[in-house]
Amino acid sequence: MPEIKPFKAIRPTPDKAAFVASRSYEEYSKKELEAKLSYNPFSFLHIINPGFKYDKKVSGNERFRLVRNRYMEFLEDEVFMKDPEPSFYIYRVEKNAYRCTGFFCATSIADYENGIIKKHEATIARREKLFADYLEIVRFEAEPVLMAYKDNASISAILESTTRHTPAYEFTTPDRIKHSLWVISDRKVLQTIQQEFSGMDSLYIADGHHRSASSCLLGKTLKDKNPEHSGKEAYNYFMSYLIPESDIRIFEFNRMVKDLNGLSKKEFLVRLDESFRIKRYGNELYKPGKKHHFSMYLDGEFYSLYLRKRAYNFTDSLSRLDTQILYKTILEPVLGIQDLRNDKRIQYGYGKHNVLKMKDAIDRGDFEVGFGLLPVNIDEIKAIADEGLVMPPKSTYIEPKLRSGLTVYDLSDTLS
């Protein structure tokens, strides 16, 4: 029974929304970031990169305090406004044939702790603590956690009805993505949506595992520091963007390895033959067409690798996951890669044309071998989460990727 709540968002004034919204900080190149900061005074990037104002690199608590200052300046200069009524915020992204419609709301850290909000990735304690410290000082959240829920006809009808009206925001960004946002503040509609979610079993985190874990850590910290804690404080919740499972897009990460762990090409292929049926395709590009089949690019040629089921035991949902199969049959025992997150010998790539990028990188000599696989699907993610298991790193690249700054969640607020 997930608990979701409307909140009073801090958001851009309508005339500035297109200028405020930004991609994740890490997605910008150095030149791109400098151009945005130099020529767009309204970009949310000014808040999260506050040292630009003084041409100074800042870090740690000094940076956190300056982030808070830039945020308050956006409020004082009326770049941001605060909504008077608690609301849900329907947000739609559209590009080419893809359209995703969901809504921003507040989700419960109690649900996260109790396993009603389910995760499929491991988090790093150091990163959790760092972001929790950041949130405690800045006192706002600007990047929601992306969660999926089972498609629901009643919720879909409300979203569809609302989106027939003129949105509060509508703009297209240079990457040709159209962004639209509607505000729902009608109490009866809010209650109907909440009731529908209270009848569900779970929500599934698709993207934002560290953000949700840090919010949970922060909630515990602020609760302990507050002698008048009531449970209605905003820090008991965190901002999420909820979308139906059918709107999730999942892409694969290919794996590229710098060497064959001391093996010759022939020795390497013989080792693989223990677990796979191997077929050589030469220079004909090959991509896997079904689960437990993999592509490999080695020494200028493509190969297909079909898992020999007699050589591998399926014991749970994790063992059936292609990224885990690749790890347990090749990466760990043959190539000697133990730590998929930190080993410098392995790198990952995603994207529509990544097979060709992988081929080019290997042909240049940057890597020795590359592997391609099919994307994980939402049912696999849910099965992993339901069993309390954790996927290998870089198992999924999930869309939509959300803009920062369209709705900001005030951690100093109180929720009704």
Are 174 and 28 contained in the same domain? yes
Q: Answer yes or no: are the C-beta atoms of 239 and 104 closer than 8 Å.
A: yes
In a domain, 392, yes or no: no
Q: How far apart are CA 198 and CA 3, in angstroms?
A: 6
Residue 63 lies in a domain: yes
User: For tokens 């410098």, what's the residue?
Assistant: 344
For the stretch 373-383, pLDDT in tens is 999 999 999 99
- List C-alpha distances in Å: 326 to 112, 177, 297, 317, 334: 30, 34, 14, 14, 10
Q: Per the domain annotation, does 218 fall within a domain? A: yes
Could you give the CA distance from residue 354 to residue 363 in angstroms, rounded to a whole number?
14
Q: Give the whole-angstrom CA distance, residue 325 versus residue 340.
A: 13
> Which range of residues forms the domain containing residue 344?
253-374
Query: For residue 314, what is the domain's CATH number?
Result: 3.30.1760
Per-residue pLDDT of the chain (416 residues; tens, 9 = 90+): 899 999 999 999 999 999 999 988 888 888 999 999 999 999 999 999 999 988 888 999 999 999 999 999 999 999 999 999 999 999 999 999 999 999 999 999 999 999 999 999 988 889 999 999 999 999 999 999 999 999 999 999 999 999 999 999 999 998 899 999 999 999 999 999 999 999 999 999 999 999 999 999 999 999 999 999 999 999 999 999 999 999 999 999 999 999 999 999 999 999 999 999 999 999 999 999 999 999 999 999 999 999 998 889 999 999 999 999 999 999 999 999 999 988 999 999 987 668 899 999 999 999 999 999 999 999 999 999 999 999 999 999 999 999 999 999 999 999 97
Q: Is residue 69 part of a domain?
A: yes
Same domain membership, residue 220 and residue 274: no
Q: Do 140 and 120 share a structural domain?
A: yes
State how many domains the chain has: 2
- Same domain, residue pair 155 and 14: yes
> Residues 257, 208: one domain?
no
